[in-house]
Amino acid sequence: MKIDTEVLTVLSQSEITDRRLILPRLLERGLYERTNKVLEAAGGRWSRKAQAHLFASDVREVIETVILTGQITTPRDFGYFPTPPDMVRRLLALARLEPWMLVLEPSAGRGAIAEEIAKIATVECFEILPANVAALEAGGYARVIFPMDFLSAAPTVRYDRVVMNPPFERRNDIRHVEHALRFLKPEGLLVAVLSAGLIFRRDPLTARFREMVWSRDGAIEPNPDKSFHVSGTDIRTVTVVVPGRTVQG
């Protein structure tokens, strides 16, 4: 079941507590019916007494998965998926790399992006998973590999480009990009793949991030459906381009 953006927006605004989901008030009838159909397919049941949809188990992960994928699917970890070759080529084309540039890949995985960057410019990587760190070191194309959680790294403004495919779960993609911008030179450019929830979520974190992108004359462009299918997921994504400036706050 493919879910339309209006329903995804409603779900992203719903109040969720363990096994209970409360929809926003004053939904137009047709929109409510479409949303209710999705919730029933996900295992929810409307309770007039509770004035909420009730589930047999904790629904938070279920709804987050629906929002990420745009369909009813089995909840899973959306932390690491290799970037497909077509997506890598698109990211690098948007990054407009030059041989003299120093490039940061702060969510390097096993090097799908970093290896291609190294064919053009100099790349440094962050990666937290030991198996991935070992794969990066074996590849030998990264000048420096930081085996640590990128979000815990102190910013150093030294990179001409940042190219990244961060983890998506619980809006960590936004947090990783915001942190990465603190490593970018004012005249630099960041290019990243993020969850398509960036387009329709209305929570303060997402809304603030969208405004930041527009304020820098950046871009948010939807990627084709099933862009990550070869990597084992149909998660929906966008590509974000953000010019460097001094980060506020």
Q: Are the C-beta atoms of 154 and 182 separated by less than 8 Å? A: no
pLDDT of 196-234, one tens digit each? 889 888 889 999 999 999 999 999 999 887 666 555 556
Per DSSP, the residues of the chain read -B--HHHHHHHHHSEEETTEEEPPSS--HHHHHHHHHHHHHTT-EEETTTTEEE-SS--HHHHHHHHHHSB-------S--PPPHHHHHHHHHHHT--TT-EEEETT-TTSTTHHHHTTTSEEEEE---HHHHHHHHHH---SEEE-S-GGGSPP---EEEEEE----GGGHHHHHHHHHGGGEEEEEEEEEEEETHHHH--SHHHHHHHHHHHHTT-EEEEPPTTTTGGGT----EEEEEEE--PPP-
**Predicted confidence band of residue 40 (pLDDT cuts 50, 70, 90):** confident
pLDDT of 136-190, one tens digit each? 999 999 999 999 999 999 999 999 999 999 988 777 899 999 999 999 999 999 9
Nearest to 83 by CA among 114, 123, 104: 114
Q: Does the pLDDT at position 249 exceed 50? A: no
- Residue 144: per-residue pLDDT: 95
pLDDT of 1-28, one tens digit each? 678 889 999 998 899 888 899 999 888 9
Other C-beta atoms lying within 10 Å of the C-beta of residue 53: 23
Other C-beta atoms lying within 10 Å of the C-beta of residue 76: 14
Domain boundaries, the chain: 5-69, 85-243
Q: Are the C-beta atoms of 113 and 163 separated by less than 8 Å? A: yes
- Residue 3: per-residue pLDDT: 83
Report, at the CATH architecture level, how domain 85-243 is classified.
Answer: 3-Layer(aba) Sandwich (3.40)
CA distance 105 to 107: 6
Q: Which of 63-72, 78-87, 139-148, 196-205 has the highest mean pLDDT?
A: 139-148
Nearest to 37 by CA among 2, 68, 67, 69: 2
CA distance 84 to 93: 14
Rg (C-alpha) for the chain, rounded Å, is 19
